[in-house]
Amino acid sequence: MQESTTAPKNALILGAGIIGLCSAYYLQQAGFDVTVIDQENEVGHQTSFANGAQLSYSYVAPLAAPGVLSQVPKWLLNPHAPMRMKPSLNPADICWGIRFAKACTAEQSLQTTKELLSLSFLSRDLFHQLFEEIKDVDFDRPGKLVVHRDQAHFQSAVKQLDIQRTLGCEQEALTTEQCIEKEPALAPLRSEIVGGIWTPSEEVVDSYKLCLAIRKNLEAKGVTFLLGQRIRALSTVTTSSSGTSAQDIEVVLADGQRLTADAIVVALGSFANELLNPIKVNIPVGPLKGYSLTLEIEDEQQAPYVSITDYERKVVYARIGNRLRIAGMADRVGLDKSLDPKRISTLMAEAKKLFPGAGNYANATQWAGLRPATPKGKPIIDKTQYGNLWLNVGHGALGLTLASGSGKVLADRIIGKTPSISAAPFRQSEA
């Protein structure tokens, strides 16, 4: 069923990361006059700047999964654990934690995986179309190898293959030697690898370069960018039409300007709640801080070409051009974007063990960003209780992977077109 027959003509996109830019791209494509607003002076300067770079279309299983809760006590006591949680008495944090715990069931994890795969496969198809139009973003299709050091974990992953295949994933299990054949740079780790899962269709792209390229593309099509503009608040206004009144939203900038549009899209990631809470739009989105290193490759033979995920260490490696992106960790520490020297040190130590000769780690660029996560691990792509306010938030570690699909689903819903996949799993009530 179509939701509407009349498309709005003007749209404001709040946030110029990859989610906001893809929202702008598909709304412009749908005929909108689009304006993008961000407090940074350039696009892609928050979570999109130096993320893991992997387009992981087949690896979308949520963090909330069976067995995760049993790991929490160990993580709390280990400063080098892949995930850390800072105790909090904040009611929103407590609520998020409770909802996360409830989602850690086999049934819910499988359902979420199915729903995310539908969105990721749509995103893959759309990205392939986008990359025909937008070039020079260090896009490549090297495939992805998830290496396992623990036999029990590997056997569990092998069992998961049958489920993944029924959901449309092309994957196979590899022996230790087959892993090294796929990626010779892993040879020094031969004695520790028990096996791996190979997915040939996985891709990489430099998210920041992609953001810059999308901005250039959109500006050429008439999209306006208001950068370096801090949003002070969202304000409610009453509108009247055909004898009925409704509440809409206008955007109040720091300089006092007030802007409104037929559709306002909040794509502010972990910072969305700062604007939404005062107008009583409550979404279960909490930040998970991740870290990355970007290493100039000095020895081609000792750096991986294939995208690598070290399953036990929860660290990913992606070659983007002549650089190696190393990313990992998930710290539940609020809106703190600062670099934690201990976490960076842990990430660097793991990378040096795996690919010691890839480059000069002392010169690696260090970065930290906030992944906006919902308890179930699904993004929210939905309308709010206000007539013109929409959400495209909560993508967690999959923001890059799901960006184009999320932008298209959002645009379709705004113009009243039924999306090509079910949008129901991505409503606020399902997060």
User: Which domains are seen in the chain, by residue range?
Assistant: 57-90+139-204+286-373 (3.30.9.10)
pLDDT of residue 1: 40
Q: Residue 143: left (phi > 0), alpha (psi -120 to 50), or beta?
A: left
Q: Which helix (H) or strand (E) holds 76?
A: helix 68-77
Q: Is there a contact between 11 and 35 (Cβ–Cβ < 8 Å)? A: yes
Alpha helices, DSSP H, located in 333-398: 341-354
DSSP 266-288: E--GGGHHHHHGGGT-----EEE
User: Please, which residues have CB within 8 angstroms of residue 21's CB and are 6 or more apart in sequence?
Assistant: 13, 36, 43, 44, 211, 214, 215, 218, 403, 407
Instruction: Return d(Cα 211, Cα 418) in angstroms, integer.
Output: 27
Instruction: Return d(Cα 32, Cα 25) in angstroms, integer.
Output: 10
Instruction: Return d(Cα 383, Cα 431) in angstroms, integer.
Output: 13
Q: Is 5 helix (H, G, I), strand (E, B) or coil?
A: coil
Tens place of pLDDT for every residue, the chain, 431 residues? 444 445 559 999 999 999 999 999 999 999 999 999 999 999 999 999 999 999 999 999 898 888 887 777 766 667 777 777 777 778 888 899 899 999 999 999 999 999 999 999 999 999 999 999 999 999 999 999 999 999 999 999 999 888 888 999 999 999 999 999 999 999 989 999 999 999 999 999 999 999 999 999 999 999 999 999 999 999 999 877 666 778 999 999 999 999 999 999 999 999 999 999 999 999 999 999 999 999 999 999 999 999 999 999 999 999 999 999 999 998 988 899 999 999 999 999 999 999 999 999 999 999 999 999 999 999 999 999 999 999 999 999 999 999 999 999 999 999 999 999 999 999 999 98
pLDDT of residue 301: 93
Instruction: Return d(Cα 185, Cα 197) in angstroms, integer.
Output: 17
Strand partners, 331: 84, 289
Q: Is there a contact between 431 and 378 (Cβ–Cβ < 8 Å)? A: yes
Q: Is there a contact between 226 and 207 (Cβ–Cβ < 8 Å)? A: no
The amino acid present at 232, given as its one-letter code, is R
Q: Residue 138: left (phi > 0), alpha (psi -120 to 50), or beta?
A: left
Instruction: Return d(Cα 275, Cα 233) in angstroms, integer.
Output: 6
Strand partners, 391: 266, 382
Please return the burial class of 225, using the count of CB atoms within 10 Å of its CB with bins 0-12, 13-18 and 19+: buried
Alpha helices, DSSP H, located in 298-379: 341-354
Q: Is there a contact between 60 and 116 (Cβ–Cβ < 8 Å)? A: yes
pLDDT of residue 83: 76
User: Please, which residues have CB within 8 angstroms of residue 216's CB and are 6 or more apart in sequence?
Assistant: none
Task: Using alpha carbons, select from 64, 203, 200 the residue that is nearest to residue 128.
Answer: 203
pLDDT of residue 2: 46
pLDDT of residue 245: 72
